[in-house]
Structure 1
Amino acid sequence: MLQLDDVHANYGSVKALRGISMKVERHSVVSLLGANGAGKSTVLKTISGLLHPRSGSISFEGERTDRLKPDRIVSRGIVMVPEARQVFPELTVYENLRLGSYSRRDRSEVVKDYDDVFDLFPILKTKTKDFAGTLSGGQQQMLAIGRGLMARPKLLLLDEPSLGLAPILVQEIFSIIRTISKRGTTILLVEQNANMALDVSDYAYVLETGEISAEGTAAEMKRNDEVRRSYLGG
């Protein structure tokens, strides 16, 4: 579904990605693991068009996307839920969700998708008229994911969905990620909590200083001694 081939990307003169090659199969959950600064979020930004690769290629459903603008990439079906939620605090919950569907033309189906989001996140249904800035951190994360789902993504990019959340909310967010996957949405997940990420994933890549240092199924990563020492606490 998604294929990256020898992707290099820079922030100015700083090399952020150094020859990344990876793929995401349809209907799978794939995780990117690694320490802060390893390049995980940069991979998502490059896929979503916020950063253009210096070289290499990115293909989605067999077509090149690495030179498209972000809005065109969204229209192809790739949607990112950014790190730190980044909801619009002075807009209501309903308005934030509505913005998620801005690129769609099937307006009659949008109403149905509000119901699907509220089915996943019942608390949001009780707060449709509340300003997003008044929500708790966990509720804002739910809103950010719900806003992404309103675009009906084929591929959902999740950047650190558990960041800053209490453990009980982390469990809830990952339960919802499982549900989203079971409903047929492919997911590429960046997550510091490697244990939780591997529990919901089919496959994983480990990034170190902009390069892939290990890859394998979630089960293989859990057995990998280096991954266990560095990211799984054992």
Structure 2
Amino acid sequence: MLELDNIYANYGSVKALKGVSLNVKQNSIVALLGANGAGKSSILKTITNLLRPHSGSITFLGERIDRLKPEKTVRKGIVMVPEGRQVFPELTVYENLLIGSYARKDRAQVKKDFKFVYELFPILHEKMKDPAGTLSGGQMQMLAIGRGLMSKPTLLLLDEPSLGLAPIMVQEIFRIIEEINSRGTTILLVEQNANMALSISDYAYVLETGIISNEGSAAELQNNDEVRQSYLGG
């Protein structure tokens, strides 16, 4: 479905990605693991064309996409839920969700997708008229994911969805990620909570300073001594 082939990308003189190649198969959950500054978010930004690779190629459903404008990438079905939620605090929950559908023309289906999001996140329906800034951190994360779903993604990119959340809310967010995937959305997940990420993923890549240092099925990486020592608490 998605293929990155030998991607190099920089922030000015800083080399962020150094020959990254990876594949995301349709209907799978793929995790990107690594420490802060390893380049995980940079990969998501290159996929969405917020960061232009200076060499290499990105293919989605058989089509080169690495020279598209970001808004055209969204229309192709690739949607990112950014780190830190980034909801619009003064707008209502409903208005935040509506913004997620801005690129769509199938208004009848948009109404059905509101229903889908409210089924996934009943609290958002309960608070639909409340300003997003009044929500808890976990509720904001639900809103950010719901807003992403309103774009009708084929591929959903999640950047640190559990960051700053209480353990019980982390469990709920990961349960919802599995539910979204079970309904046909492919997911590329950037997550520092490696144990949780591997528990729901089909495949994973480990990134170190812009280079993929390890990859394999979730089960393989869970049993890899190096990965366990560095990311899974031994």
TM bucket, shorter chain: over 0.9
- Give the corresponding residue for 2:11: 11
Q: CA deviation at 1:92?
A: 0.5
Q: CA deviation at 1:70?
A: 0.6
- Give the corresponding residue for 1:31: 31
Query: Aligned AA for 2:3?
Result: Q
- Give the corresponding residue for 1:164: 164
Cα deviation per residue 1:68-105 (whole Å; 9 max; x = unaligned)? 01100000000000000000111100000000000011
- Give the corresponding residue for 1:45: 45
**Equivalences, count:** 234
Q: CA deviation at 1:197?
A: 0.1
Q: CA deviation at 1:144?
A: 0.1
Q: Distance in 2 between matches of 1:147 and 1:49?
A: 19
SS in 2 for 1:128: coil
Cα deviation per residue 1:174-229 (whole Å; 9 max; x = unaligned)? 00001001001000000000000001100000000000000000000001100000
Query: Aligned AA for 2:123?
Result: I
Q: CA deviation at 1:39?
A: 0.2
- Give the corresponding residue for 2:208: 208
Q: Distance in 1 between matches of 2:64 and 2:47?
A: 11
* Structure 1 portions without partners, runs of 5+: none
| Segments ≥4 residues shifted beyond 6 Å | none
Q: Distance in 2 between matches of 1:198 and 1:102?
A: 33
Cα deviation per residue 1:52-73 (whole Å; 9 max; x = unaligned)? 1010000100001101011000
TM-score computed with the length of structure 1 as normaliser: 1.00
- Give the corresponding residue for 2:146: 146
- Give the corresponding residue for 2:115: 115
Q: Distance in 2 between matches of 1:63 and 1:132?
A: 37
Q: Distance in 1 between matches of 2:82 and 2:222?
A: 26
Q: Distance in 2 between matches of 1:9 and 1:130?
A: 40
Query: Aligned AA for 1:216?
Result: G
Is 2:178 the counterpart of 1:185?
no
Q: CA deviation at 1:16?
A: 0.2
- Give the corresponding residue for 1:79: 79
Cα deviation per residue 1:150-181 (whole Å; 9 max; x = unaligned)? 01100000000000000000000000001001
- Give the corresponding residue for 1:58: 58
SS in 1 for 2:188: strand
Query: Aligned AA for 2:68?
Result: L
Q: Distance in 1 between matches of 2:13 and 2:67?
A: 20
TM-score computed with the length of structure 2 as normaliser: 1.00
Q: Distance in 2 between matches of 1:142 and 1:174?
A: 11
Query: Aligned AA for 1:165?
Result: L
Q: Distance in 1 between matches of 2:129 and 2:121?
A: 15
SS in 2 for 1:119: helix
- Give the corresponding residue for 2:223: 223
Q: Distance in 2 between matches of 1:63 and 1:52?
A: 17
SS in 2 for 1:71: helix
Q: Distance in 2 between matches of 1:146 and 1:8?
A: 31
SS in 1 for 2:52: coil
SS in 1 for 2:214: strand
Query: Aligned AA for 2:166?
Result: A
